[in-house]
């Protein structure tokens, strides 16, 4: 019995999907704050994006 053939989705296809489905928010913060944020997220095992998404969701709920 043959197994499923593994395929790779190209980066271009993934980028097109992400650009169609997601928006981007950029912020500039001091390097020391960014480093501390990354380190704390790593220690606590929390994705960086989750912290930001949760903060935005909470902000939007207060409208």
pLDDT for 34 equals 97
Q: In the prediction, which pLDDT does 43 show?
A: 98
The predicted pLDDT at position 6 comes to 67
CA distance 53 to 37: 14
Q: What is the pLDDT of residue 8?
A: 72
What CA dihedral angle connects 25, 29, 32 and 34, to 10 degrees?
A: -10
Q: pLDDT tens digits, residue range 4-62? A: 666 677 898 999 999 999 999 999 999 999 999 999 999 999 999 999 999 999 999 98
């Amino acid at each position: 019995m043959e197994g499923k053939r593994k395929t790779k989705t190209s980066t271009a296809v993934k980028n097109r999907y992400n650009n169609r489905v997601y928006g981007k928010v950029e912020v500039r913060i001091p390097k020391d704050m960014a480093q501390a944020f990354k380190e704390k997220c790593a220690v606590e095992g929390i994705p960086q994006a989750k912290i930001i998404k949760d903060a935005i969701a909470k902000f939007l709920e207060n409208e």
